Structure 1
Amino acid sequence: MLSSGDLDELRQAVLRSWRDSPTRFTEDTQAERDLLRGAYRDRVFVELAQNAADAAALAGRPGRLRVSVVDGELRVANTGAPLDRRGVAALASLRASGKPPSGQGLVGRFGVGFAAVLAVTAEPRVVSRTGGVAFSERRTRQVWEAPEVPVLRLPWPLPEDEPPLPEGFDTEVRLPLRDDPGPLLEQVAAEVADVLLVLPWLAEVEVGQRRWTRRTEGGTADASDEVVLTLPGERRARWLTHRGEGCVWALPLADDGAPRPLPGDPGDVLHAPTPTDERLSLPVRLLTTAVPLEPSRRRVLASAGTPEVTRALHAAAAAYPGLVRALPPRHRLALVPRPHFPLSDVDAVLRERVTGQLADAEWVASAEGGSLPGRRARVLDLAAARLVELVAELVPDLAAAPLCGRDAARTAAVAGARPLGVAELAEALTGVERPPSWWHAVYTELHAAVERSEVDPDELGALPVPLTDGRTVPGARGALLLDDAEGAVSAVSAMSAVAELAIPGLHVVHPDAAHPLLHRLGARRAGPADLLAAPPVAAAVDRSVDDALAGLDVEPLAEAVLSWLSSAPGLPEPERAALGALALPSVHGPRRADELLLPDAAILPVLDPDAVGDDAPLDVLARDLAQRWDRDTLVRAGVRDTFPVGHATTDESEPAVADLDLVADDAWPAALRLLASEPATWRVLSAPDGRLRDWLAAHALLAGRSPGQWRLASARAAAGLFDPVPDVGLGDDLLVAVGVRTGVVGLAVRDADDAALVCARLGDPDRTVPPGVVLRAHGALSGLQPDDVEPPARVRTLAGSVCDAADAVVLDAPWLLGVWPADRLVAAAEFADAAALADVLDLPLASDETTVRPDDDGEFAAWAELPAIVEVADLLGADLPDGGVLVHDELTVGGVAVPWWHDGEFGTAHASDSPDGLARAFAWEAGRWTERVVVERLLDDPGPRTVLG
């Protein structure tokens, strides 16, 4: 119990010290003034709450604190150990604390902090179960006269009428207020939550009608607790705390256990244990009793560089990973300090030490289980938790999800962690053996990252891709993705055969791994047609016969190709033609597909027997294979059913349809009917270029002759030169299509062979050739180049007879008919063709061989001066020629009488004075040669009746 004697003894001791040392009074006065103005301004409630917490700790049970205003006094009541003589001594000493030497977790039991009450009162009292003590500026002035006196140096007994303690409390501090208590109570209410967090021995605080409680949950073996504060209105605040040497780290939590920002984040302050002015940038609050402070308790003693401060801060940093580990792994990254300039010297030291601890301590959850030090951890820089799970066993020291993503990697790097980029991840996956479905899951995560623009597709260039043959290759470029179209997936059954064959260079993505990401990375979508066109497949097909002959099993390749082909009806012709090299079984062994015939091929009956067999150009497909595959698929693979249409070649002498040279001589009518029955071959046969027609005209056989040596019975324009084709069971349209002649011009003489045939027929004296046919045949021959024709030894003349070529000339002018015998003249229907015909037949022109001229000069007459000619010109609507004509009573040339002549040397026309002579001369000169007979009749009987009748 506190007695008045004890208080009197303490008071007298202080007064003696003042009297013995006048400077001591001044020091006490100044010290109290400094404490009031510096260290403890605005800290009344915090300091009194610390005393209450210490009392509860000394009593060994959680304490209660009540703040109220009674009769103008602020009263702060608490439970716990009551005030004793040591405490009173501490209150009366501005430089000592009443905390026992053992500490007991106390933060400042009735020490200098009590000076904070002077901010609101000059007459504080402390009432306890053991007594009490009062301090009074007024009573101190009564015993010591001075302008300013220290209030807390002289303890006084309580007044006789001091009200008793409130029920249920052990101590109450009573502070008569100078000012309105309202603002002070609000300030106290604002500090309660922090005070409860700082002072674990306080369990409950009341301020007026408001109540706060503190409850600890989930204490752990490594000194971590979750503190729940219940606030007025039944609101709750949760904090995670972790105790270290002389310190507590505290982190606010959301209801779901996730970290919350500190109040005022990122600008918290060091609590030692009450708030100081040392600003911190850490995401958690540090409460420490080990950091020495200046007397003002606002700043760390002598900055942050003293050994004591450094030791305390290092001890706090050493405890920091424990708080981090107390959080679920998904939230731990929130406690890594963000890149930030230090806010104070203390902050600089603490941040450096904390990041160092996080680099060395195990706190990063490993994807494989357990924990990793920060400096060992690898953080995937993609926000892809599922991807982390997929590759956990493949990447050493990989941080577990959800510690992933660029922000996470950047933050974890502060603690020494290294980011894991996708390019490095792709490299780490090289050579990994996993099911295709696992790769598909990996692609799904990476594709999502690409879609979010987190990943440049170029970084995934080396990403492994599983193939159907069991291999895994680096990079998707050039790989084939099976198309999902109907028929493509069904072809996968044949893919196993290709896998067994292991076609070099054929990279087909396993269907279970196929993913749109691979297409974006360069893989090509592949249906059956694409597989058939793939260069590795084409190469395998091309060498398949050699492989088969070398003893390799090419049946899987054949099955795969036929399967794809059955699902690719629109395969382009070049790719389809290349499949003709595919090795397929014949009755005699492996052969190219395009050298095989269906067992019931339509072409088989028309082929020469020697064309089919073991050593022959063609053979028959094995019957069992023909029964397993549909006819259309085998034909599109190159197996023959009918005549195949080939590719155009530069050799114009070759037909565009294959195997025609293998037709039996007596089977041509049937072969031609087959050509006409198939749309593909008929299109070639009826093509405008006539290439196949020309070949057939020369090489096919109808009744022992080529079609070009026959004519239709109706083609009388070629009578005499060509015989009518006998009945071979072919219609006229087909006969014409294969080269049977319908006439001469434009058909009979197309090339050297035709020319030789026509010339031979014309020079055959046993043939009777109509004169018109002869003229048209010579006209057709004139259209050839001389080098294409072998000049004939015998020629057909105008007389219809045959003469030696050495005796013949080509008629090139009509007036020459009067001086040359008909049995030496060779003529075309048009004089314009004479020169070309002479070159082709190697004959001279008649004009070049004619040396005679008119025997007399005749009498010149202008055309306009001949009335009969003028009248004829009018009736015909013809212009009169310039110049005139030399008229002869009787025109002779070299002694031979002729009706007319044309002097080529002088360009002058001659005519006998007769209708016949004048008509021919006028018609030639007027350019109306074809009307010469009409002119002659008009000269005999001029008038419109002759023209019209």
Structure 2
Amino acid sequence: MSLPTPDPFGTGALRASVRRAWADSPTRFTEDTNAERDLRVGAYRDRLFVELAQNAADASAEAGVPGVVRVSVVDGELRFANTGAPLDARGVASLSSLRASAKEGLVGKFGVGFAAVLAVSSAPRVISRTGGVAFSEARTRDEIGQDGEVPVLRLPWPVDEQVPEGFDTEVRLPLRPEVDQDELLARLESEVEDLLLALPALTRVEVGGVWQRSEVDGYVEISAPDGAVRRWLTQEAPGGLWAVPMSDEGPEPLAEDVLRAPTPTDERLSLPARLIANIPLEPSRRRVLPGADVVAPARAYPDLVRRLAPEDRPSLVPSAGFPLSEVDGELREAVRRGLAEQPWLPAVGDDLPASGARVLGVESPELVELLGDLVPRLVKLSGYDVAQVLATVDADRLDIPELVELLTGVERPPSWWHSLYDALLPLLESHEIAKDELGALPVPLADGRTLPGPRGALLFGSGELLDLLAEADVLGLRLVHPEAAHPLLEQLGAKQADAVELLEAPGLREAVERSVEDAESGLDTRPLAEAVLRLVSETTVEGLGALALPCEDGWRRADELILPTSPLLEVLDPDVIGEELSLLDKDFAEQWSPGVLTAAGVLDGFRVTEDGIRDLDLVADDKWPEALRLLESERETWQALLHGPSGEWLSRNALLDGNTPDEWRLPDAESLAGLYDPIPDLGVRPEVLVAVGVRTELVVEDIEDAADLLNRLGDADRTVAPGAISRAYGALAAAELDLSELDAPERVRAVDGTVVAAEDAAVLDKPWLATLWPADRLVAAAEPERIAELLDIPLLSELISGRPGEGEFVPWRELTAIRLVAELLDLPLPEGGVLVHEELTVEVDGVKRATPWWVESGGFHGEHHAEDSSAGLARAFCWAADRWADRHLVTALLDDPDPLTPWS
């Protein structure tokens, strides 16, 4: 017989007390069962590790020893061993009571958290060096003699088991069959880091390896089994602790978390730092008790922020957005209020509260450093994102336009402004600020004045250049102080004061534009002319043609003057010299190279403008060949001839051997023979002749072209080949012109080349009518209706009509020769057939006339007639098949059905 198990905690009395309570009040048993079920499936369903770790932390804190926890699975049991105060009688009483908690026991401070073990076990045991107790669903059911659901944690029994060496207490949980051991351990391991942070009494947890907690200078370091170390910056607060995870790069603010009290609750938070607070919770330990003070810890939040490097502090400002819970809303508002009212933002002097602080809206520490003594309450942090964040705690953003306005009137040495430009340039190049925002940026000038904006300012670098400009006495040149000269000013509209930039400076341009007027009013403009030409000798710019230069009869614009040695003098009409143009003063011209003078606008040859080649209208009528040779000798004028409007003007206005260029053709343009005469040899290259309008092909571009071509067709002195006649009328028909603008010609060209009076002619519109009308009165062309309208003569079908005699109807498919030809040429046979006549005659105005084919009702699907001949059948077939262009080939094949005929 075995010895009875010791019962140091009086579990027998506890069981008896519970059984009496159940016997005295049958509803009490049901209440206990329901209460335990609620805890198991509700409040504590997923808090096993949290609650056991909290108990372990309480035990180690009570005993004043480092808290060590070891979690393992042995023979199907989850075992949770810990150091600290061992199990005592009050603790056992709390364990077996669903409505009580030993404040210094194992079940936490505000709830009966041990019920969390029921999620994985129906027979938990607690073994301590002072004794042990066990609970069992099966033993409880046997004890009371009742089937069905029973409470597990109401009846304790003593157990006599040993605690693992090095530990004071161990919770042993035989796992339910449905519990996955690996999954359970993995879930427990995932909670270790959070619990080590939330429970300072714990220093070591063994689960899946060893986890360690250490604390140095307000930093909590938690090392994982794989060697990884997570650091948390912590800050004591009234009634709690703030913590934010840290990396080597700085803080890693949280995006979303829950309130810890000290273990996780269901109160969702959106603060960047974790709050572990001593806040009363509901019995479920998931919600804050209504009316509890949750904002007290917020008073220390700025202290946490101040412990970060200045550049990292904005990362702990709560982001804008809706709170995740009522507690979150209260805390966020309290934290923001604290950040707005307490100093924490780095400034030139002491830290500043956020409320009313100024934050530069672009990121530039250099710019902030320069502005520190100019802008009150300026924060050392800067950047758009920082400003947006700090705006949520009442800081004011300082944007560049306002900064520029603040700088207006500020007196600083030129070198200070240079440093300011140094700080602004990278911001402009990275597009963080726009040029328009810096339009009024002050610029110190060499004369001591400050210019309100860089536009129009000039950057210079040599005394010689200054002397030259002073001698020219050009007003409006605003020269930047050399110690303030900076590339930023160039990007904002200032110009480098080299030759190019000075020549394009508005002040100098204005002086050039009014120089002739000034000269005529008696002012000495020679220094300006010499200054401009001196600059032109170093570079080349356009638009200086208004510069006043001396000529034989006073002063004129440079672009109205000709060099005394210019070849233009050989081709221009002598009468225009002294009127439209003048000669540059010879003595003045000898002081400068021709290249400098022409760069300033003086003419040495034809000049190209936006509108084309200028002064062509000044060429003498008998000098056009020489003028064309001069135009082709210069690349600029030659390109303008090829690609600009001047070629078209020359085609109608230049005179070559008495005619305009568009009245001639090149000698090798044989297709135009008869219509246009070949141009005589004038010593001008063919490509130049083409560029000025001498014809190489038949083109009708406008009404004038059309009228001229009609006149040439009606000119009886011209001999025009039939092909050229057809092409001419085709070009007229294809031209996209309003024919109503043309006068109808009196004479037209017939198909045989005869010129006939328009009133006696007709336009062939139906090919089977051709044999019934004299060829010398017949006009044939594509688009006959349009040609008839153009020439104001009738269509032939409007003048004659006829009716053929009787013929024999033969389907196309029964005409063997036609069928063979169609197969050889891959032509589809048309529907229907043809009326075949041994001799086809058509009665016109009572007279019978022979014709090879006829279409009675018009169109491709009319009644087709053909004489029994190759020519007649081929024409009828090709018209019916819509292959009229193949009629001659079909005729040849009908005459000679050799397959080689199409290729020979």
Q: Which amino acid aligns with 1:173?
A: V
Q: Does 1:296 align with 2:269?
A: no
Moved more, 240-249 or 30-39: 240-249
Equivalent positions of 1:135-214 (< 5 A) are 135-146=135-146, 147-159=148-160, 162=161, 164-179=162-177, 180-208=180-208, 210-214=209-213
CA shift for structure 1 position 140: 2.6
What is the DSSP-based 3-state SS (H/G/I as helix, E as strand, rest coil) of the residue aligned with 1:433? coil
- 2:55 aligned partner: 51
- 1:390 aligned partner: 370
Whole-angstrom CA distance in 1 between matches of 2:416 and 2:107 = 59
CA distance 1:107–1:537, shift in 2 (3 Å) = farther
CA shift for structure 1 position 682: 12
Equivalent positions of 1:254-403 (< 5 A) are 254-256=247-249, 258-262=250-254, 266-290=255-279, 292-301=280-289, 306-308=290-292, 311-312=293-294, 314-366=295-347, 368-401=348-381
Whole-angstrom CA distance in 1 between matches of 2:362 and 2:372 = 14
Whole-angstrom CA distance in 1 between matches of 2:592 and 2:466 = 38
Whole-angstrom CA distance in 2 between matches of 1:506 and 1:436 = 19
CA distance 1:681–1:194, shift in 2 (3 Å) = closer
Q: Does 1:449 align with 2:418?
A: no
What is the DSSP-based 3-state SS (H/G/I as helix, E as strand, rest coil) of the residue aligned with 1:462? coil
CA shift for structure 1 position 516: 2.6
CA distance 1:110–1:418, shift in 2 (3 Å) = closer
- 2:491 aligned partner: 520
CA shift for structure 1 position 493: 9.0
1:898-946 CA-partner distances (Å, limit 9, x unpaired): xxxxxxxxxxxxxxxxxxxxxxxxxxxxxxxxxxxxxxxxxxxxxxxxx
- Do the aligned residues in 2 keep the contact of 1:46 with 1:274 (CA within 8 Å)? yes
CA distance 1:571–1:683, shift in 2 (3 Å) = closer
- Do the aligned residues in 1 keep the contact of 2:238 with 2:297 (CA within 8 Å)? yes
Which of the numbers 12, 15, 28 marks the counterpart of 2:16? 12
What is the DSSP-based 3-state SS (H/G/I as helix, E as strand, rest coil) of the residue aligned with 2:248? coil
Which of the numbers 222, 233, 244 marks the counterpart of 1:240? 233
Whole-angstrom CA distance in 2 between matches of 1:136 and 1:676 = 127
What is the DSSP-based 3-state SS (H/G/I as helix, E as strand, rest coil) of the residue aligned with 2:191? helix
% identical aligned pairs: 55
- 1:511 aligned partner: 482
TM-score by length of 2: 0.54
What is the DSSP-based 3-state SS (H/G/I as helix, E as strand, rest coil) of the residue aligned with 1:197? helix
Whole-angstrom CA distance in 2 between matches of 1:358 and 1:331 = 14
What is the DSSP-based 3-state SS (H/G/I as helix, E as strand, rest coil) of the residue aligned with 2:380? coil
- Do the aligned residues in 2 keep the contact of 1:251 with 1:284 (CA within 8 Å)? yes
What is the DSSP-based 3-state SS (H/G/I as helix, E as strand, rest coil) of the residue aligned with 1:98? coil
Unaligned runs of 5+ in 1: 220-225, 483-487, 541-560, 581-635, 637-642, 651-655, 657-674, 685-949
What is the DSSP-based 3-state SS (H/G/I as helix, E as strand, rest coil) of the residue aligned with 1:338? coil
Q: Does 1:91 align with 2:98?
A: no
- Do the aligned residues in 2 keep the contact of 1:491 with 1:528 (CA within 8 Å)? no
CA shift for structure 1 position 166: 1.2
Q: Which amino acid aligns with 2:124?
A: P
CA distance 1:135–1:571, shift in 2 (3 Å) = closer
- Do the aligned residues in 2 keep the contact of 1:676 with 1:682 (CA within 8 Å)? no
What is the DSSP-based 3-state SS (H/G/I as helix, E as strand, rest coil) of the residue aligned with 2:185? helix
- Do the aligned residues in 2 keep the contact of 1:528 with 1:565 (CA within 8 Å)? no
Whole-angstrom CA distance in 1 between matches of 2:463 and 2:437 = 34
- 2:44 aligned partner: 40
CA shift for structure 1 position 97: 2.3
Q: Does 1:440 align with 2:418?
A: yes
- Do the aligned residues in 1 keep the contact of 2:258 with 2:265 (CA within 8 Å)? yes
Rg (Cα) greater in structure: 1
Whole-angstrom CA distance in 2 between matches of 1:513 and 1:463 = 13
Q: Which amino acid aligns with 1:519?
A: E
- Do the aligned residues in 2 keep the contact of 1:532 with 1:565 (CA within 8 Å)? no
What is the DSSP-based 3-state SS (H/G/I as helix, E as strand, rest coil) of the residue aligned with 1:278? strand
Whole-angstrom CA distance in 2 between matches of 1:193 and 1:215 = 12
Unaligned runs of 5+ in 2: 1-5, 512-528, 558-562, 564-584, 595-904
CA shift for structure 1 position 479: 2.0
1:768-808 CA-partner distances (Å, limit 9, x unpaired): xxxxxxxxxxxxxxxxxxxxxxxxxxxxxxxxxxxxxxxxx
CA shift for structure 1 position 535: 9.1
What is the DSSP-based 3-state SS (H/G/I as helix, E as strand, rest coil) of the residue aligned with 2:344? strand
CA distance 1:536–1:91, shift in 2 (3 Å) = same
Q: Does 1:422 align with 2:329?
A: no
Whole-angstrom CA distance in 2 between matches of 1:129 and 1:494 = 104
What is the DSSP-based 3-state SS (H/G/I as helix, E as strand, rest coil) of the residue aligned with 2:58? helix
Q: Which amino acid aligns with 2:326?
A: D
CA shift for structure 1 position 39: 0.9
- 2:454 aligned partner: 476
What is the DSSP-based 3-state SS (H/G/I as helix, E as strand, rest coil) of the residue aligned with 1:95? coil
Whole-angstrom CA distance in 2 between matches of 1:476 and 1:516 = 11
- Do the aligned residues in 1 keep the contact of 2:456 with 2:505 (CA within 8 Å)? no
Equivalent positions of 1:511-590 (< 5 A) are 511-527=482-498
CA shift for structure 1 position 318: 2.4
Whole-angstrom CA distance in 2 between matches of 1:492 and 1:171 = 95
- 1:489 aligned partner: 462
Q: Which amino acid aligns with 2:215?
A: T
CA distance 1:29–1:507, shift in 2 (3 Å) = same
CA shift for structure 1 position 494: 7.3
CA shift for structure 1 position 178: 1.4
- Do the aligned residues in 2 keep the contact of 1:36 with 1:119 (CA within 8 Å)? yes
- 2:843 aligned partner: none
What is the DSSP-based 3-state SS (H/G/I as helix, E as strand, rest coil) of the residue aligned with 1:426? helix
Which of the numbers 232, 245, 250 marks the counterpart of 2:243? 250
TM-score by length of 1: 0.52
Whole-angstrom CA distance in 2 between matches of 1:186 and 1:122 = 21
CA shift for structure 1 position 571: 10
Whole-angstrom CA distance in 1 between matches of 2:46 and 2:111 = 17
CA shift for structure 1 position 31: 1.6
CA distance 1:52–1:563, shift in 2 (3 Å) = farther
Whole-angstrom CA distance in 2 between matches of 1:647 and 1:375 = 73
CA distance 1:529–1:47, shift in 2 (3 Å) = closer
CA shift for structure 1 position 425: 0.9
1:232-279 CA-partner distances (Å, limit 9, x unpaired): 1111112222232222222222233x22254xxx34222233223332
Whole-angstrom CA distance in 2 between matches of 1:526 and 1:260 = 52
CA shift for structure 1 position 449: 2.1
Whole-angstrom CA distance in 2 between matches of 1:178 and 1:515 = 79
RMSD between superposed Cα atoms in Å: 4.3
Q: Which amino acid aligns with 1:648?
A: W
Moved more, 513-522 or 323-332: 513-522
- Do the aligned residues in 1 keep the contact of 2:298 with 2:335 (CA within 8 Å)? yes
- Do the aligned residues in 2 keep the contact of 1:320 with 1:354 (CA within 8 Å)? yes
Q: Which amino acid aligns with 2:191?
A: E
- Do the aligned residues in 2 keep the contact of 1:317 with 1:350 (CA within 8 Å)? yes
CA distance 1:464–1:61, shift in 2 (3 Å) = farther
**How many equivalent residue pairs?**
545
Q: Which amino acid aligns with 1:175?
A: L
CA shift for structure 1 position 54: 1.1
